[in-house]
Structure 1
């Protein structure tokens, strides 16, 4: 898949043109013995998510650089950092190992269509052609450290990993890896996080809608600048928490309006009801109680009922058939995911978007979104579910398409024709 010219032979996987290396070396084959050995080692690994492989004495984590100036790995250049003590720990940052590279290939092989026709995959294909074809642009890879074809694939994929090794078994490698990342951020002001490389991230909504700028029309609506800024921050965010909250702010912008409008409608409904009479004190008291309850709630909660306000925003501005259509276009299985899966870190329940009762959908959708939001912004220690940065990113990434598409409808609904 990564090297389309690879063929299966009796000796293993071979490529048509050998890759030239430094020192007159070359690589063109991944032997059957190497494949078996690598797969056997992967079968003994503890795999929590696509970002990590753990064994008894060592672990390897995929890193996402959050440093805008340089790639995180450039500061280390294959240097190793070793601690002292009874159980010395060694840390190294660089390109993925043979084992981790094989693991990535297995992930890609499970759903190759997910990765093809993306900007990152096109770049990988160009690098493969440049390094394997006999052309003036071909060059040897001076920094390739091994003679395995997997070493070459590792260079092509360009995934940065952190390898942590301990002399004795039983170490908590995730804690050690995060301690290392904090230590580096504190001392060098450069940041990376454990997470999926962009090669393995869920496909973006952009690729579902437009592939080329030539397919764009000129905008036909104008939008409020502050809402656009929140939306742009969400699209540009590299951290899922920031992305989710950026989209949530768009819906939150209208909470005060819809809550007040709803209160006005309740009062209007009460005073226009045929049974209402201004001459009966109990009828007037009923209207006063409705208003007083809303004002008391505002005073006690420091605002209005946010879950109710969110539900009102969804009811007023979100078209459920369009939301379902957009989610289906993004991922044909994601609506079933929402219907069958809770959000454990938020204590948020399932939402059956295809439910026949719109009122029930609005209610469950608002509750799921609001509870996810609460888990992201509240970090108090206690019994309530809460979000752990990076640890819960895979789960949070599943919630972002839902929040983004809701926010988009709210934003578009308030656009003005040019």
Structure 2
């Protein structure tokens, strides 16, 4: 991963904390010297570039005579409150058999700097939307600076602005104990005993980053003129309210899936009706009758007892029924989204490209495959298909890019299924 230089890192810290604007009359040197410990932060910045890190937000480092792994964790209750209620250090455990120590508490200085590095990699400060997303971090930092007397140590400002805790697992340098397995074991032990979620899956789970809606809002709308299916509205509400793209995607998919049985049944009936009403059909022709029987038998091999067909076939039927105006459907996207779906497969599901210039039939088929492969990757976790399985640590941002496609499909279905208010 490529990071900016140490000076750019300090400059980004001062900018995101709103310090540069407040003390704009100071030179860069005077501004840096106003906060003690800037050199310390630079030193840590250079040290952590040598650390091993993972996509699960864990870093590995040696400290004194111990090998350490440190990873951010999250609790729905403040950890100090939990400790006070139990009156024990329930989070700090010692495995005497393997000489492994577990601690939950304030993040190390190295982890704090590492997280801010990750922040500036993802949220470039030349974007207005990104600066708005970091406004809570800015307010926390400035409040701490105002309340502090005298010089403020920069690493402490960073700590107060971030305000998260980490799990540290330590073992002797010569130990072969697997630290990542230890993190998993500890996490499950805490979660199943305290009924508390512990793991974090994104930078937004660690830092107070606002979710800024970059889509243009439409404030010019009239009184509702149509009645919508309340079941679909419930799914839509859950999808649009969740910060987890997994929940959003599955909820939008439920809107499509809602019509699987109905559309598959209608399609089979219409196929049969077309066959027996064709001008060249004769009920006296045994070959024609047997051909129809063969087709029905073939279709029914993929039909469950409740009358619905196989997943992909049903999905394709639904999209063919509701996406009848592809050009109108394309108008719901901005050009960035259209280009993305045309030029990028879904990394984790291998969902295919959508060639928007092909025929309507081919476009719908491509959309069906992209949705089907992605949905399967989300809901199926098979040891034999690890390369097409969704992993929150690795793929959350990639899944976020698929939300626009399935959201617009869900809206088309909701609207076309609605009825005019009499």
Is TM-score (shorter-chain normalized) higher than 0.5? yes
Aligned length: 387
User: In structure 1, what is the Cα distance between the partners aligned to 2:44 and 2:241?
Assistant: 37
Identify if the C-alpha distance between structure 1 residues 226 and 156 changes in structure 2 by more than 3 Å, giving closer, same or farther.
same
Gapped runs of 5+ residues in structure 1? 19-27, 133-137
- 3-state SS in 2 of match to 1:208: coil
Deviation sequence 1:263-285 (CA, Å, 0-9, x none) = 23322332343332334232233
Identify if the C-alpha distance between structure 1 residues 205 and 218 changes in structure 2 by more than 3 Å, giving closer, same or farther.
farther
RMSD: 3.9
Shift of 1:250: 0.9
Q: Is the 8 A contact 1:13 1:30 kept in 2?
A: no
Q: Is the 8 A contact 2:265 2:307 kept in 1?
A: no
User: In structure 2, what is the Cα distance between the partners aligned to 1:411 and 1:218?
Assistant: 17
Aligned to 2:294: 289
Aligned to 2:217: 210
Identify if the C-alpha distance between structure 1 residues 106 and 206 changes in structure 2 by more than 3 Å, giving closer, same or farther.
closer
Deviation larger for 366-375 or 106-115: 106-115
Aligned to 1:90: 102
Identify if the C-alpha distance between structure 1 residues 333 and 404 changes in structure 2 by more than 3 Å, giving closer, same or farther.
closer
Q: Is the 8 A contact 2:103 2:167 kept in 1?
A: yes
Identify if the C-alpha distance between structure 1 residues 415 and 47 changes in structure 2 by more than 3 Å, giving closer, same or farther.
farther
Shift of 1:60: 3.2
- 3-state SS in 2 of match to 1:179: helix
User: In structure 1, what is the Cα distance between the partners aligned to 2:317 and 2:103?
Assistant: 51
Shift of 1:362: 1.8
User: In structure 2, what is the Cα distance between the partners aligned to 1:405 and 1:414?
Assistant: 14
Equivalence map 1:121-270=2 (5 Å): 121-132=134-145, 138-140=146-148, 148-168=153-173, 172-198=178-204, 206-210=213-217, 218-270=223-275
Identify if the C-alpha distance between structure 1 residues 320 and 198 changes in structure 2 by more than 3 Å, giving closer, same or farther.
farther
- 3-state SS in 2 of match to 1:194: coil
Aligned to 2:32: 14
Aligned to 1:341: 345
Q: TM-score, normalized by length of structure 2?
A: 0.75
User: In structure 2, what is the Cα distance between the partners aligned to 1:191 and 1:279?
Assistant: 68
User: In structure 1, what is the Cα distance between the partners aligned to 2:125 and 2:309?
Assistant: 46
Correspondent of 2:70 among 38, 60, 73 = 60
Equivalence map 1:296-335=2 (5 Å): 296-299=301-304, 303-318=308-323, 320-321=326-327, 324-328=330-334, 332=336, 335=339
Shift of 1:155: 1.4
Q: Does 1:407 align with 2:410?
A: yes
Shift of 1:261: 2.3
User: In structure 1, what is the Cα distance between the partners aligned to 2:72 and 2:253?
Assistant: 29
Q: Is the 8 A contact 2:53 2:59 kept in 1?
A: yes
Correspondent of 2:82 among 62, 75, 83 = 75
User: In structure 2, what is the Cα distance between the partners aligned to 1:10 and 1:162?
Assistant: 36
- 3-state SS in 1 of match to 2:92: strand
Aligned to 1:135: none
- 3-state SS in 2 of match to 1:298: coil
Aligned to 1:25: none
User: In structure 1, what is the Cα distance between the partners aligned to 2:45 and 2:190?
Assistant: 33
Deviation sequence 1:9-30 (CA, Å, 0-9, x none) = 5658538xx7xxxxxxxxx245
Deviation sequence 1:222-266 (CA, Å, 0-9, x none) = 321211222222233354433322221110011112212222332
Correspondent of 1:37 among 28, 40, 43 = 43
Q: Is the 8 A contact 1:82 1:90 kept in 2?
A: yes
Q: Is the 8 A contact 2:125 2:131 kept in 1?
A: no
User: In structure 1, what is the Cα distance between the partners aligned to 2:293 and 2:277?
Assistant: 15
- 3-state SS in 1 of match to 2:102: strand
Aligned to 2:6: none
Q: Is the 8 A contact 2:264 2:308 kept in 1?
A: no
Q: Is the 8 A contact 1:375 1:387 kept in 2?
A: yes
Aligned to 1:22: none
User: In structure 2, what is the Cα distance between the partners aligned to 1:148 and 1:87?
Assistant: 35
Identify if the C-alpha distance between structure 1 residues 195 and 299 changes in structure 2 by more than 3 Å, giving closer, same or farther.
closer
Deviation sequence 1:131-175 (CA, Å, 0-9, x none) = 44xxxxx5349xxxx963132123123344434333337664443
- 3-state SS in 2 of match to 1:59: strand
Q: Is the 8 A contact 1:376 1:386 kept in 2?
A: no
Q: Is the 8 A contact 1:159 1:197 kept in 2?
A: no
Q: Is the 8 A contact 1:350 1:364 kept in 2?
A: yes
Deviation sequence 1:168-216 (CA, Å, 0-9, x none) = 37664443323222111122221122211437799968441439xx766
Q: Does 1:5 align with 2:19?
A: yes
